Amino acid sequence: MLCLTLTETSLEKDLLQFQKNRDLIDMAELRIDLLGSEISVDALRRFPSLCDKPVILTCRRKKDGGLFSQSERVRVNLLKRLASGNFAYCDLEDELPRGEIDLTFREKGTRIIRSFHDMTAVPGNLFTRMQKIAEQGEIPKAAVMPNSFADTARIFEAKNELQKIERKIIIGMGNYGVPTRILYKKTGSFLTFCSAPGSSPGAPGHLNTESLRKLYRSDQITDDTSIYGIIGNPVMHSASPAIHNPGYHRLGIDAVYVPFMVDSVRTFFPFAEWFGIKGFSVTVPHKQNVLPYLGNISREVKQIGSCNTVVRTKKLWKGINTDYYGFLHPIHEDLEMGHLKRALVIGAGGAARSVVWALRNFGCSVYITNRTFDKAERLAAETGSSAITLQEASRLCADEAEKYPDLIIQTTSAGMDPDIESDPLPEYKFTGEEIVYELVYKPRITRFLNRAIQSGCRIVYGYEMLYAQGIQQFKSFTGFDYPQN
């Protein structure tokens, strides 16, 4: 079930939030710690009767990620007074003594969720604590903070480790925890929490109702659902899920594409095999890190030395590079007609490798500039290009008119949300004759790109490459052409 955490500061606004999202959710959580202090107990009791879906009553303390700041005695007394309300569940902390408060709620038919929170880590006794709660006849809930992909993988082990517990909730918070919220059934949880679109997240890592119900279709995931995804660090900004998931839906394919924040591919590959992941996209900084784990690679990967697509075959992982063709798609005609003779590539990472090889294969002269100059030198030596410093790149147009680039490609993360103020080459003076191609797609127009637009340059936006390479990945994953609108 999808449970909407109500995060407004008044019951009236919470009810409106519920009504706007009711068709996307199965239940709601009333967070009374987020409400103003003037709310009457009678109004709180009546709230479940105003909703036509089950409501969880929660009053979260500050140390557990909530906002309730009064004494524990005040909080417990408030919860007791609310027991006469028609709440389906009440969330009580595991350390809260069992006794009168439990009996009060149970007499009213309210089920007890016993939760514990670790806002800093995944505790070593995670499964033991949940087992002990279940032995008390309560629903165990753990909200923990993974700090690495190894922590995320451990949360997914809950389905096997705690398979005898019929009803449980285990949640990974923050960016590492996002896959556990989308694939909540794969952890054995009977629900996942979400927030209303446009509202403050109810907890770190909350997705909104639209994403969980319509984009990821989390409630429809079963043991037979094929799992695909994207790995990177960072990765939550990725627009790839918005390309792949609608494609699966339109073709009636039982599959989901999920972002996985991964700090170590060495940890991810064993998990991917154990978890049954069918394929995944690769973004920074792992496009070269994945190479040692591939049993087969395409011609492009062999030449470029960078992989952005990994597909599971019967016995091994196969690496493909769709960045190569995705990059070429918007400018292929210009290259074919010989309009682009000289190019300046900003950056020397995995994406830059694909770009440089694509241009060199069309006979284009390429200058490579990078903040770390030795990386530019290495890539230039491998590709028959020229490495220049950022200062030299800034003067290409002004001092060496015969060398000014026809095409400038910005491959770094400078300007990408949240670093939107960055400009990778602030001293460069555009002539207005260049084609400026930026791989950053969020935001659509960066500071660098805005300067190019103001100078009259033709612009190629990053989403054009993302979409072109994404639909090729889709075919590599599924065997089907991407459905056209």
Mean pLDDT, the chain, as a whole number? 94
Coil, strand or helix: which one is 64? helix
Closest CA to 328 of 309, 305, 300, 348: 300
User: In sequence order, what are the residues at sequence separation of 6 or more whose Cβ sits closer than 8 angstroms to the Cβ of residue 445?
Assistant: 453
Q: Which CATH architecture has domain 232-323+468-478?
A: 3-Layer(aba) Sandwich (3.40)
Coil, strand or helix: which one is 185? helix
Please report the pLDDT score of residue 404 as a whole number.
Answer: 83
Among 13-22, 28-37, 212-221, 373-382, which is the least confidently predicted range?
28-37
pLDDT at 5 over 70: yes
Supply φ then ψ for residue 155, to 5 degrees. Answer: -65, -40
Residue range 172-201: mean pLDDT, rounded: 95
3-state secondary structure 87-142: CCEEEEECCCCCCHHHHHHHHCCCEEEEEEEECCCCCCCHHHHHHHHHHCCCEEEE
Catalytic residue among 287, 302, 315, 375: 287
Residue range 157-171: mean pLDDT, rounded: 95
pLDDT at 333 over 90: yes
Please report the pLDDT score of residue 284 as a whole number.
Answer: 87
Tens of pLDDT, residue by residue over 217-248, are: 999 999 999 999 999 999 998 999 999 999 99
What DSSP line would sit under 191-219, residue for residue?
Answer: -EEEB-TTSPPSSTTPPBHHIIIIIS-GG
Please report the pLDDT score of residue 367 as a whole number.
Answer: 96
Residue type, 302: K
Band (pLDDT 50/70/90 cuts) for residue 400 is low
Please report the pLDDT score of residue 402 as a whole number.
Answer: 62
Band (pLDDT 50/70/90 cuts) for residue 417 is confident
**What CATH code would you report for 2-221?**
3.20.20.70
- Say which DSSP state 356 is in: H
CB contact at 8 A, 249 and 301: no
Please report the pLDDT score of residue 99 as a whole number.
Answer: 83
Coil, strand or helix: which one is 75? helix
pTM (2 d.p.)? 0.92
Q: Which CATH architecture has domain 325-465?
A: 3-Layer(aba) Sandwich (3.40)
287 is a catalytic site residue: yes
Examine domains 232-323+468-478 and 325-465 and report if their fold is the same. Answer: yes
Please report the pLDDT score of residue 58 as a whole number.
Answer: 96
Which helix (H) or strand (E) element contains residue 226?
Answer: strand 226-232
Band (pLDDT 50/70/90 cuts) for residue 100 is confident
Residue range 205-226: mean pLDDT, rounded: 96
Terminal CA-to-CA distance of the chain, rounded, Å?
A: 30
- What is the domain partition of the chain in residue ranges? 2-221, 232-323+468-478, 325-465
CB contact at 8 A, 424 and 346: yes
pLDDT at 130 over 70: yes
User: In sequence order, what are the residues at sequence separation of 6 or more whose Cβ sits closer than 8 angstroms to the Cβ of residue 363?
Assistant: none
